[in-house]
Chains A and B, each alone.
Chain A
Amino acid sequence: MEDFEVIVVGGGLSGLSAAYCLAKEGVGVLVIERGDYFGAKNVTGGRLYLNPIRNLLPVNWEQAPLERCVTKEKICLMGEDSSVSIELSSQKFGQKPYHSFTVLRAKFDQWLAEKVKEAGAMVVTKIKVDDLILDGGKVRGIIAGEDKIPANVVLAADGVMSLIAQKAGLKNPLSPIDFAVGIKEVIELSPQTIEQRFSLKENEGLAQVFAGAITKGMFGGGFLYTNKNSVSLGLVVKIDDLMKKRPQIEAIQIFEDFKQRQEIQSLIDGGDMVEYSAHVLPEAGFNGISHLYSDGILVAGDAAGFTLNNGLTVRGMEFAIASGVLSARAINAAIKRNDFSSQSLAEYENLLKDSFVLKDLKNFRHAPNFLDNPRLMTLYPQMVCDVLEKIMYIGDYPKEKLSKTAIREIRSKIGRNIFKDGYQALRI
């Protein structure tokens, strides 16, 4: 194989975005993907927010095979046998420049890989990178089976488990405190059914998150995204909480109990489940970010831990794309200096610090701590449901004042913790 200046390990969003930018600059770049095709190993919830990355990655976004433009955002608080929803229906979100789209990765990643190829990068699938060529701690290329391929720089864009960043000593073994597992089903429904059922126009979509009793006291939540002719239904739960939960419960069972809720059943009724997937998500935010570079290597996307969950918006893909683009800029500068040392590649971190990637992650650095609160995951959603249920219910007895009902419920269920949790909430 010919020599490459840059080898990108992993053909997901960060790797492909980096390769696209490098190839556009005329840099010899090779992308190595272990799946049979791009996207074959990748899973999203998911939706992509376009504003942060539209100009960073200069592909023709209008041609991208995205699913539906999200015009409805719904937050559903779930009690044991009741739920309360808040819905934002936004005309602004349905107008150009579009705000966010639902996505299915197999389709999207293959499209992006085509763009990368057109830009002049070499892309290969069905090759698994096993190790790095190391020379006194300096990364000099990759090893895949019998093949050793040298390169000036390796980009570890190999996803959340990032065995490559670990081999380079940039990442510690993953701790269950910092990660969650997501389980998702893609359920086919006709576009007409989706549009009628969710009150959507053609090409418009809904993004819904669910919190409360469904995670049985554990950190996490459910989600539903409408695609063109399917919905993505999923549930995320923190691995550490799952391990500690007594009595023990299978992750599979938590998802199934969620799916069997009447609120969900009515949304997926008549649908045909066509894929069952699972994926790990970084949940530690700013404090969970790995080392980002070393001699001859950089880390981007999930591999670096670039995901942000502030409780209401869950983001990862635009961080992956942006970190890929910024890694390409740092690599390009290093090529011009002909210096691939750690000091030279350190520019990557500065670029990230100046971008929304590290700014947003830093801004929301208290979010993981705030969200890791059983009251937030169970008590508050249940309380909102109970208060509304009591207020709306008319019995065969005189109705008490609304404020009295509300105050009694809140006082009996939360007490003084409301001040503590309120303070934490204000730090988000």
Chain B
Amino acid sequence: MDINIKAKLGKNTIKVDSQKHIKIKREICKDCREKVCLYVCPARVFTLNADGETALELDACLECGTCKIACVKNALEWDYPRAGYGIQYRFG
């Protein structure tokens, strides 16, 4: 059964930052075969595009940090979104 993560995330309040808070170091990422980011992320921020490159859907990001911890090859430049942006939990 495919999970509709967009529908789940649609319940959240996320203020999208035009500036990217996570960046991929392509020179490291392109040689990575495990690509754990694709399945550890609870918001499916990481996908593979048609060229087989890792793509980012930062609008979905829950700022949990799992990708940063799991990417042991250190291919991610990771920071929180700028103040005033990102997830704003109403329950937490």
A136 to chain B, nearest CB (A): 26
Chain B residues closer than 8 Å to A35, beta-carbon distance: 88
Q: In the complex where A253-B3, A276-B8, A279-B64 touch, is A104 in contact with B40 (Cβ < 8 A)? A: no
Chain A residues closer than 8 Å to B74, beta-carbon distance: 173
B65–A161 contact, CB under 8 A? yes
- With contacts defined as CB atoms under 8 Å apart, how many contacts are there between chain A and chain B in the complex? 131
Chain B residues closer than 8 Å to A176, beta-carbon distance: 69-70, 72
- Cα A160 to Cα B68 in complex, Å, equals 12
Q: Which of A37-45, A203-211, A320-328, A352-360 contacts B (4 or more CB under 8 A)?
A: A37-45
Chain B contacts with A in 51-74, Cβ cutoff 8 A: 62-66, 68-70, 72, 74
Q: In chain B, what residue has the closest Cβ to A260?
A: B1
- Cα A40 to Cα B88 in complex, Å, equals 5
Chain A contacts with B in 331-370, Cβ cutoff 8 A: none
Q: In the complex where A40-B89, A253-B3 touch, is A243 in contact with B68 (Cβ < 8 A)? A: no
Q: How many interface residues does A have (CB within 8 Å)?
A: 52
A25 within 8 A of B: no
A106–B92 contact, CB under 8 A? yes
B9–A276 contact, CB under 8 A? yes
Chain A residues closer than 8 Å to B80, beta-carbon distance: 34, 41, 128, 163
A105 within 8 A of B: yes
Within 8 Å by CB of B63, from A37, A41, A107, A275, lies: A41
A119 within 8 A of B: no
B2 to chain A, nearest CB (A): 10
A252–B5 contact, CB under 8 A? yes
- Cα A185 to Cα B12 in complex, Å, equals 11
A192 to chain B, nearest CB (A): 20
A248 within 8 A of B: yes
Q: How many interface residues does B have (CB within 8 Å)?
A: 39
- Cα A275 to Cα B92 in complex, Å, equals 8
A250–B11 contact, CB under 8 A? no
A178 to chain B, nearest CB (A): 9
Within 8 Å by CB of B90, from A181, A275, A278, lies: A275
Flag A305-332 by CB within 8 Å of B: 1 or 0 each. Answer: 0000000000000000000000000000
Chain B residues closer than 8 Å to A60, beta-carbon distance: none
A243–B36 contact, CB under 8 A? yes
A183 within 8 A of B: yes
B45 to chain A, nearest CB (A): 10
Chain B residues closer than 8 Å to A161, beta-carbon distance: 65, 68
B89–A273 contact, CB under 8 A? no
A179 within 8 A of B: yes
B84–A37 contact, CB under 8 A? no
Flag A189-233 by CB within 8 Å of B: 1 or 0 each. Answer: 000000000000000000000000000000000000000001010
B25 within 8 A of A: no
A143 to chain B, nearest CB (A): 13
Within 8 Å by CB of A252, from B44, B68, B91, lies: B44
Q: In the complex where A41-B89, A104-B92 touch, is A181 in contact with B40 (Cβ < 8 A)? A: yes
B66–A280 contact, CB under 8 A? yes
B3 to chain A, nearest CB (A): 5
A280–B64 contact, CB under 8 A? yes
B27 within 8 A of A: no
A251–B40 contact, CB under 8 A? yes
Flag A83-126 by CB within 8 Å of B: 1 or 0 each. Answer: 00000000000000000000011110100000000000000001
23 CB < 8 A contacts A-B: A39-B89, A40-B88, A109-B92, A126-B83, A128-B82, A128-B83, A144-B83, A161-B68, A163-B79, A175-B69, A175-B72, A239-B66, A242-B36, A242-B70, A243-B40, A250-B3, A250-B38, A252-B5, A252-B44, A273-B11, A274-B11, A275-B91, A276-B12
